[in-house]
Amino acid sequence: MGNRSEQQSTEQLAAAPLPATQLPELPWRVPLDRAPWWAWALFVTPFVAVPLLNSWLWMGARDMLAVALLVVIGASVVRIAGGVVLYRVMLTPSGLKARTSMLIRSLPWQDVDKIEVGDDNVVLTRGKDENEINGIPSDRVAEVAAVMEALRQQAAGRPRRRATPRPGIGALFVLTYLVLSIGAFLTRWHIV
């Protein structure tokens, strides 16, 4: 979380709101820093390494435990690295949609009480909940916050749509990983 003393509040953003004619074409993807190369490598490695390791293990009680541990550790790596690699934030007229590795979450503009700006982040406050969007280039943070504030003000009179989190593409990747890693072991030892 950014330092509160360095952050601007919604009132400061509202002093110079963005005119509707200057809003970007919606839905607008929030500019975020690209995922580092090591995150992509970390994301892809378990898909190759764990099935190979599982197919080489000898079959025995200890090996079954090793297969289970490799599968769990690899799934955790895929999920965590996917949080960096598969991260996207879209702004729509009705709300904000954030895609992480496992879920796609929506936040209607009517639920946002306050927007705060940090050095490389924007924090949307909803009651006691805070939704922080990190990794925004520092020269674009003010622009992103201004667009969010303009959309929030435009949505003030509209009825809100409730959206529940739904599985993202990362859930499919984790499921694919589990099938590959366990399937390699079962196929190698002719269990299936």
| Domain count of the fold of the chain | 1
Write the DSSP string, 115-148. Answer: EEE-SSEEEEEETTEEEEEE---TTTHHHHHHHH
The kind and range of the H/E element at 46 are helix 37-56
pLDDT (tens place) for every residue of the chain, 192 residues total:
444 444 455 445 444 555 555 788 889 999 998 888 898 899 899 998 988 888 887 777 777 888 888 899 998 998 888 888 878 899 998 889 988 877 888 889 988 889 999 888 899 998 888 888 988 998 999 999 999 999 999 888 777 666 677 787 778 888 888 888 888 888 877 776
Q: Half-sphere exposure of residue 179, counting CA atoms within 13 Å on the CB side?
A: 6
Q: What is the pTM of this model?
A: 0.69
Residue with token string 């799934």? 75
In which domain, by residue range, is 151 found? 4-16+24-188
